[in-house]
């Protein structure tokens, strides 16, 4: 008779089971962000909200870079499409958010398919620059259609309710958590493993019966859809974008794509939490430091220099990124504690012979 299944589960065991579940950390992150919300001022909320939109984009990009090994610099263009389409469809056409979402994401899927087909023909560093060219085309189209200035969203409504900054922030957190769960599931599924195989060796993957065409297209579609979603969220939160060629964050140019790449690499190309903290570090490190240390009055330029130096140092010495660094530190601390325990025993009970 099998008893295991009906065995009594103690509360402690249940708690351990819940904590060990992979979803737990992600949902806790969302809860923590929601708890911070009432206490955060205008600047901190803005910084966190922007970082969340970048995280959504970067998570899609991690499927591309971390799992499929494809380098793309067109992220800015895809995110820009999301932002401008939300602005245009809401301002000019008066569509509700859900229809806008469907229209934009289906457009992103078409675009992702096209780029996926291009990626079958062009590889490596060339693919990066071709996607950069694609992003430039998109940017030029924005400038031609909407002018080389700010483009504003008049009002953001969800189910007919006008959203203010706080409620939009809640929406952002919920969507980010959902996206994280999706990415987690994709990466643990046969799809994710097939992509990893494709990254390591294309020929070997093909020999095992993995269709390169299918998984490349899939990787690009996931990346473009999440990039467009991130762009929409950015527009909904910030209510203002511009295509001009300054290097401000949120402006959809080369700098944006590079920052996404940097966020993913700094965080660790396959780590969900790492990417979240990487986005925080790359985009809004200055605001967060200033919010944490109220009286420090840190110069913005010094922070930019600092984050540049941190990027360089991480790439130079810790190629696994922040997640790897955290793992290593944890291991080292564990070792240290074990060593101290042994020392303490030696001190207390004398040396074993």
Considering the rule CB under 8 A, would residue 57 count as an interface residue with other proteins? Answer: no
Report, in Å, the least distance between residue 323 CB and other proteins.
16
Residue 330 near residue 337, CB atoms below 8 Å: no
Report, in Å, the least distance between residue 137 CB and other proteins.
5
Residues 119 and 325: their CA atoms lie apart, in Å, by: 32
CB-wise, 317 or 347, nearer to other proteins?
317
CB-wise, 70 or 83, nearer to other proteins?
70
Bridge partners of residue 162, in order along the sequence: 157
Residue 208 burial by Cβ neighbours in a 10 Å radius (0-12, 13-18, 19+): exposed
C-alpha closest to that of 223 among 114, 315, 98: 114
- Per rule CB under 8 A, count of chain residues that contact other proteins: 49
Residues 58, 218, 225, 265: which binds other proteins (CB under 8 A)? 265
CB-wise, 128 or 231, nearer to other proteins?
128
Residues 122, 174, 178, 337: which binds other proteins (CB under 8 A)? 122
Considering the rule CB under 8 A, would residue 209 count as an interface residue with other proteins? Answer: no
Query: DSSP secondary-structure letter at 64?
Result: I
Helical (H) or strand (E) element with 161: strand 161-162
Considering the rule CB under 8 A, would residue 59 count as an interface residue with other proteins? Answer: no
Considering the rule CB under 8 A, would residue 125 count as an interface residue with other proteins? Answer: yes
Considering the rule CB under 8 A, would residue 246 count as an interface residue with other proteins? Answer: yes
Report, in Å, the least distance between residue 192 CB and other proteins.
20
Report the 10 Å Cβ neighbour count for 275. Answer: 32
Residue 43 near residue 287, CB atoms below 8 Å: yes
Considering the rule CB under 8 A, would residue 328 count as an interface residue with other proteins? Answer: no
CB-wise, 22 or 133, nearer to other proteins?
133
* Two structure tokens written together for 20: 């060990």
Report, in Å, the least distance between residue 341 CB and other proteins.
33
Considering the rule CB under 8 A, would residue 158 count as an interface residue with other proteins? Answer: no
Q: Give the number of C-alpha atoms closer than 13 A to the C-alpha of residue 50, restricted to the C-beta side.
A: 24
Beta-carbon contacts of 127 under 8 Å, excluding residues fewer than 6 positions away, are 70, 71, 72, 118, 119
Residues 15 and 11: their CA atoms lie apart, in Å, by: 6
Residue 333 burial by Cβ neighbours in a 10 Å radius (0-12, 13-18, 19+): exposed
CB-wise, 19 or 125, nearer to other proteins?
125
At residue 41, what are phi and psi to the nearest 5 degrees?
-80, -170
Helical (H) or strand (E) element with 151: strand 151-152
The dihedral built from the CA positions of residue 300, 301, 302 and 306, taken in this order, carries a sign that is positive
Considering the rule CB under 8 A, would residue 11 count as an interface residue with other proteins? Answer: no
Considering the rule CB under 8 A, would residue 89 count as an interface residue with other proteins? Answer: no
Residues 253, 271, 290, 323: which binds other proteins (CB under 8 A)? 253
Stretch that binds other proteins, among 87-95, 162-170, 176-184, 255-263 (CB under 8 A): 255-263
Considering the rule CB under 8 A, would residue 302 count as an interface residue with other proteins? Answer: yes
Stretch that binds other proteins, among 21-29, 137-145, 215-223, 325-333 (CB under 8 A): 137-145
* Two structure tokens written together for 133: 């060219």
Considering the rule CB under 8 A, would residue 212 count as an interface residue with other proteins? Answer: no
Residues binding other proteins (CB under 8 A): 71, 118, 121-123, 125-126, 128-130, 132-134, 136-137, 140-141, 143-144, 201, 203, 245-247, 253-255, 258, 261-262, 265, 299-312, 315-317, 319
């Amino acid at each position: 008779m099998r008893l295991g299944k009906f065995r009594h589960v103690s509360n402690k065991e249940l708690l351990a089971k819940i904590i060990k579940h992979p979803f737990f950390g992600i949902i806790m992150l969302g809860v923590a962000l929601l708890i911070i919300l009432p206490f955060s001022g205008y600047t901190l909320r803005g910084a966190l909200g922007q970082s969340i939109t970048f995280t959504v984009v970067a998570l899609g990009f991690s499927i591309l870079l971390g799992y499929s090994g494809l380098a793309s610099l067109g992220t800015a263009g895809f995110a820009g499409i999301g932002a401008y389409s939300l602005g245009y469809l809401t301002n000019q056409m008066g569509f509700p958010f859900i229809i806008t979402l469907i229209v934009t994401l289906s457009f992103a899927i078409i675009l992702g398919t096209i780029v996926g087909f291009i990626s079958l023909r062009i590889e490596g560093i060339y693919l990066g620059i071709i996607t950069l060219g694609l992003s430039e085309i998109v940017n030029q189209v924005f400038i031609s259609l909407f002018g080389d200035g700010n483009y504003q969203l008049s009002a953001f409504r969800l189910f007919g309710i006008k959203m203010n900054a706080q409620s939009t922030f809640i929406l952002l957190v919920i969507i980010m958590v959902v996206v994280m769960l999706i990415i987690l599931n994709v990466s643990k599924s046969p799809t994710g493993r097939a992509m990893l195989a494709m990254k390591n060796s294309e020929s070997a993957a093909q020999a095992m019966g993995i269709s390169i065409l299918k998984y490349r297209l899939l990787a690009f579609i996931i990346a473009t859809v999440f990039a467009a979603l991130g762009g929409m969220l950015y527009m909904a939160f910030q209510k203002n974008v511009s295509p001009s060629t300054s290097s401000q964050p949120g402006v959809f140019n080369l700098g944006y794509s590079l920052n996404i790449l940097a966020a993913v690499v700094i965080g660790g190309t396959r780590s969900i939490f790492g990417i979240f903290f990487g986005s925080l570090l790359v985009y809004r490190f200055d605001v967060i430091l200033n919010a944490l240390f109220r009286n420090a009055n840190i110069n913005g330029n010094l922070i930019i220099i600092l984050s540049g130096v941190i990027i360089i140092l991480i790439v130079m010495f810790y190629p696994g990124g922040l997640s790897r660094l955290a793992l290593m530190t944890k291991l080292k601390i564990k070792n240290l504690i074990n060593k101290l325990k042994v020392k303490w025993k030696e001190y207390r009970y004398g040396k074993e012979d």
